[in-house]
Amino acid sequence: MRASRIVGSLAAGYVLYASFPPRPLWFLAPFAFAALVWVLRSGPSLRGGFGYGLLAGLGFFVPLLPWVGVYVGALPWLALAAGSALYVGAFGVLARIVARLPFATIWIATVWSLTEWARSSFPFGGFPWGRLAFGQSDGFLRALASLGGAPFLSFGIALTGCGIAALVRALVDRDTRRDVRLIAGSLAAAVLMPVVAAITWTTLPGMDSGDRYVTVAAIQGSVPQLGLDFNAQRRAVLDNHVRRTFELARDIAAGRVAKPDVVIWPENSSDVDPLRNPDASDEITEASEAVGAPILVGAVLVNDDGTTTNSVIVWNGADGPGERHDKKIIQPFGEYLPWRSFFRHFSAYADRAGHFVPGHGNGTVHAAGIDIGVATCYEVAFDRALEESVRNGAQLLAVPTNNATFGDTEMTYQQLAMSRIRAVEHGRALVVAATSGVSAIISPNGAVEEQTPLFVPAAMVMRLPLRSESTLATTLGPVPELTLCAIGVAATLAGLWLRRRHAA
């Protein structure tokens, strides 16, 4: 029996991984979660709950995150996967604590929300990658994000999985299969969120939903090489983006494409600091003048104290640099290294981590009269990034990103899925501009309107809606997640009281 539970836990985690992009198997997620819940409800031991949860977490995160170690070796990849799996182990403990409560199906889903919140918050600012919500970009369930954001979408998948597990148990358990109320309740839990999503889907805005419309271009200049040293030829990367922008200018002059109101370059499109390097400044100015529009330039800026900021600068032709967004949520072990003197003992790559510092601001920039919300690369994984932008007036969203450091892996598709969920969450068109791909233009309903292939220079030009109406998710902000977490804590305390009472 124990062997079957071990296999079931690992299989549940792996099937959950299989539901994530680039595979269009989003519908597997509730069934994978149901399989894990089935295992967890097979006994009362908290130690067993942790073990089975941990195995499911490893079955999920180990295949999900190999891009972390593609150029730095297996140790960082496996360490991050194991650390993330600990939170699924914690879920296993909490699930067994609340399993004896009435309506346990609901409480198990809320303690999943609690552990997802914890993993997305601690340590080092958290690691939200792999939240249940981010596997739903191709499915109609993504509509739930417009109601309560990514946390509510994750809860919806968890509740559906819990309902499926409870329904199967009610049908096969000899003691309860004749209890119509139990079967009906389990069925209701299994179908509630899909029904809500189906209804909500009809209300999602599309490309024809704007208060007004603008034409936006995204440039993918590509890079001379992949890996950690992609930017060793920093000038070549800048030149690639300038060159592709000049090609766009020629297409505009020939009438092949519409003239854009604004052009978006990727993160790291100018790792030559254009505020300190006149040659880089001149190149960007010429490109902006040629295309006749301001360019959002992803640049690495060197501060006087030797630190750096990962910035997006609005470059207004001959007028030069204007407003900028300095990346506020920076990546630990990449853009900076916490506890540097400690971690350098474990990897020769530790000292290659950057010395970036977080920026400030409200997450928006203004270009050509357009309020644009910016989340640079890693920031898109965090709820608060674009939520702050939209609350501060953003009518269009941009995610400039650099995936060249992760080679030909699933990372770029996983991140694209996050951007699609964010578009639904806030009801805004969203532009992903990537150095090496995949760049994409996303509708406010999360559909990909156009995308580029990997590793080739490309440009996309499209007329996009600007919207000012807020979704319920934007209006509520963190309230749904905090509410679910509070319920999860209350259910855990009630479950602990009940276990102590039965033990006495």
496 located within any domain: yes
165 located within any domain: yes
Least confident of 126-130, 141-145, 301-305: 301-305
Q: Which residues contact 153 (CB under 8 A, 6 or more apart)?
A: 132, 133, 136, 141, 142, 144, 145, 421
Work out the angle between the directed axes of helices 180-201 and 145-172 (0-180°, nearest 10).
150
> 377 catalytic, yes or no?
yes
Single out the catalytic residue among 162, 377, 379, 387: 377
159 located within any domain: yes
% helix / strand / coil in the chain, to the nearest 5?
Answer: 50, 15, 35
Q: How confident is the model at residue 1 (pLDDT cuts 50, 70, 90)?
A: confident
The whole domain housing 115 covers 2-205+478-503
Contact 92, 50 (CB under 8 A): yes
Q: What are the φ/ψ torsions at residue 277 (nearest 5 degrees)?
A: -115, 110
Q: Which residues contact 439 (CB under 8 A, 6 or more apart)?
A: 218, 220, 266, 432, 433, 451, 452, 458, 460
pLDDT over 60 (residue 229): no
Q: Indicate whether 494 and 448 sit together in one domain.
A: no
Q: How confident is the model at residue 178 (pLDDT cuts 50, 70, 90)?
A: low
Per-residue model confidence (pLDDT) at position 230: 46
Per-residue model confidence (pLDDT) at position 333: 86
149 located within any domain: yes
Single out the catalytic residue among 116, 267, 388, 481: 267
Q: Which residues contact 104 (CB under 8 A, 6 or more apart)?
A: 41, 98, 166
Q: How confident is the model at residue 235 (pLDDT cuts 50, 70, 90)?
A: confident
Rounded-to-integer distance, Cα 267 and Cα 400, Å? 5
473 located within any domain: no
Q: Indicate whether 222 and 103 sit together in one domain.
A: no
Rounded-to-integer distance, Cα 183 and Cα 330, Å? 47
Side chain identity at residue 296, one-letter code: L
Rounded-to-integer distance, Cα 66 and Cα 475, Å? 36
175 located within any domain: yes
Per-residue model confidence as pLDDT tens digits over 385-398: 999 999 999 999 99
> 267 catalytic, yes or no?
yes
Least confident of 244-248, 332-336, 388-392, 460-464: 332-336
Helix (H, G, I), strand (E, B) or coil at 446: coil
pTM of structure: 0.95
Q: Indicate whether 114 and 192 sit together in one domain.
A: yes
Contact 332, 123 (CB under 8 A): no
Q: Indicate whether 321 and 459 sit together in one domain.
A: yes
Per-residue model confidence as pLDDT tens digits over 276-315: 999 999 999 999 999 999 999 999 999 999 899 999 999 9
Question: What's the number of domains the chain is made of?
Answer: 2
386 located within any domain: yes
Q: For the residues 61-73, what does the mean pLDDT come to?
A: 92
Per-residue model confidence as pLDDT tens digits over 307-336: 999 999 999 999 999 999 999 999 998 899
pLDDT, averaged across the chain: 94
Least confident of 177-181, 191-195, 260-264, 327-331: 177-181
b/e 449-461 (16+ beta carbons within 10 angstroms → b): eebbebbebbbbb
Q: Which 3-state string (H, E, C) describes 350-375?
A: HHHCCCECCCCCCCEEEECCEEEEEC
Q: Indicate whether 372 and 410 sit together in one domain.
A: yes
Per-residue model confidence (pLDDT) at position 274: 97
Per-residue model confidence (pLDDT) at position 486: 98
Q: Which long-range contacts (CB under 8 A, 24 or more apart) does 479-485 make?
A: 480/147, 480/148, 480/149, 480/151, 480/152, 480/155, 481/113, 481/117, 481/148, 481/149, 481/151, 481/152, 481/383, 484/110, 484/113, 484/114, 484/151, 484/152, 484/155, 485/110, 485/113, 485/114, 485/117
Q: Indicate whether 420 and 484 sit together in one domain.
A: no
Of 110, 103, 112, nearest to 16 by C-alpha is: 112
Q: How confident is the model at residue 345 (pLDDT cuts 50, 70, 90)?
A: low
Least confident of 148-157, 183-192, 338-347: 338-347
Per-residue model confidence (pLDDT) at position 165: 97
Single out the catalytic residue among 116, 162, 283, 327: 327
Rounded-to-integer distance, Cα 449 and Cα 437, Å? 15
Per-residue model confidence (pLDDT) at position 334: 85
> 450 catalytic, yes or no?
no
Sole residue written with tokens 């790559």: 349
Per-residue model confidence (pLDDT) at position 405: 80
Q: For the residues 496-500, what does the mean pLDDT come to?
A: 96
Instruction: Say which CATH number the domain at 272 has.
Output: 3.60.110.10
Helix (H) or strand (E) holding 487: helix 479-503
Apex 405 CA angle, 235 and 447, nearest 5: 105
Q: Indicate whether 455 and 325 sit together in one domain.
A: yes
Q: Indicate whether 52 and 81 sit together in one domain.
A: yes
Q: Indicate whether 216 and 201 sit together in one domain.
A: no
49 located within any domain: yes
Token pair of 496 as six digits: 């602990």
Per-residue model confidence (pLDDT) at position 84: 98
Q: Indicate whether 180 and 303 sit together in one domain.
A: no
Q: Indicate whether 492 and 418 sit together in one domain.
A: no
Per-residue model confidence (pLDDT) at position 174: 62
Q: Indicate whether 200 and 216 sit together in one domain.
A: no
pLDDT over 50 (residue 344): yes
Token pair of 402 as six digits: 């650099």
Token pair of 454 as six digits: 């990997």
Q: How confident is the model at residue 182 (pLDDT cuts 50, 70, 90)?
A: confident
Percent of the chain residues past pLDDT 90, beyond the cut: 86
pLDDT over 50 (residue 228): no
Q: How confident is the model at residue 119 (pLDDT cuts 50, 70, 90)?
A: very high
